[in-house]
Amino acid sequence: MSESSSFKSSSARRGARGKMQDYKLLIKFNLSFMVVFSALISYLLAPKVKAYDLGSILLFFLGGMLVTGSANTINQIVEKDTDALMKRTANRPVASGRMSVQEAWAFAVIAGLGGVALLWWYFNFLSAALAAFSLFVYAFIYTPLKKISSISVLVGAVPGSLPCLIGWAAGNDDLAAGGWVLFAIQFFWQFPHFWAIAWIAHSDYAKAGFKLLPSNEGPTKYSAIQAIIYSLLLLPVGVLPYFTGISGIVSLVVVLIANLFMVGQCVRLYKEMTAKAARRVMFSSYIYLPVVLLALLLDKVS
């Protein structure tokens, strides 16, 4: 192979890897994975799902990733100018100019329609309709609302929790109490989780015009108190899986310990009022959700 051919081949490989990396950033892969993880566990927790079929699991995961990836792509299209202002988001493909808005829209439409169709075809209309509703609220209501009012966090918590209902609906074909309990856990979990992120990145968010913390003054005692309140609300919500028959005593104990740990981290934030304490809340919340969901699932299968 000539030196010129070798260079072209190497450039092509780098180009392909770069494009794949851009699409990974476009769909916010880590965030999408966490969202679909909660939906998948909720699907497996549905009483009508007796056997865990790998094919169904993979199809549900694919449908969830397509819908979530579409919502995150639209979010980046809408926020391309503000993303360019913030250090942590300036490298996103649309904000940086590496990907055109037209290409991003094409992907968003194809992925969104494909994901909703997949859920409808292989599971049921209810899960597909919830997925479409979640995508719409996240992309077209929550995203622009972030610049208007901190109420956006409350609005965003709805599509942020709907994956649990989507998973339950896909497995049970209904919206019974169990699905709403899982929705409630993820709903209240989001407030200390998201406010911790907004606390850490407050200067970046403020520069871009986002209003995300409950206090207009930013990281204040009031914001910390709000995080404590919502973490405390997780305590009564956390016992509901046991009393609704979703899980047993083992997961009840695990969930209560996890909830108390979250409360403790939020109280620590109130006392210390530092970015380091906020970072502890953030990482604790990242650990909290998979621990709680897996505890519920393991209790069901044991």
Question: Which pLDDT tens digit goes with each residue over 253-300?
Answer: 999 999 999 999 999 999 999 999 999 999 999 999 999 999 999 988
Residue whose C-alpha is closest to residue 159's, from 185, 181, 130, 128: 130
When computed from its CA atoms, the radius of gyration of the chain, rounded to whole angstroms, is: 20
pLDDT in tens, 245-265: 888 899 999 999 999 999 999
Residue whose C-alpha is closest to residue 283's, from 207, 199, 206: 199
Length of the chain: 302
Domain boundaries, the chain: 17-174, 176-302
Query: Residue 12: is its pLDDT beyond 80?
Result: no
Query: Residue 130: is its pLDDT beyond 50?
Result: yes
CA quadruple 3, 9, 11, 16: dihedral, nearest 10? -170
The DSSP call for residue 139 is: I
Cβ-based neighbour number of residue 8 at 10 Å: 12
**Average pLDDT, integer, range 46-72:** 94
Confidence bin at 202 (pLDDT 50/70/90): confident
Which tokens belong to 77?
A: 């299209």
Classify residue 256 as exposed, middle or buried by CB count within 10 Å of its CB (0-12, 13-18, 19+): middle
Which tokens belong to 27?
A: 């769909």
Q: What angle do CA 209, 210, 213 make, to 5 degrees?
A: 135
Confidence bin at 13 (pLDDT 50/70/90): low
- Mean pLDDT estimate for the chain: 91
**Average pLDDT, integer, range 75-101:** 92
Asked which of 98-112, 152-166, 210-224 is least confident by mean pLDDT, the reply is 210-224
Q: What percent of the chain has pLDDT over 90?
A: 78
- The pTM is what? 0.91
pLDDT in tens, 172-199: 999 999 999 999 999 999 999 999 999 9
Name the superfamily (CATH) of residues 17-174: UbiA prenyltransferase (1.10.357.140)
> How much is the pLDDT for 7?
36
Distance CA 187, CA 200 (A): 21
Cα within 13 Å of Cα(281), Cβ side: 35
Distance CA 258, CA 289 (A): 9
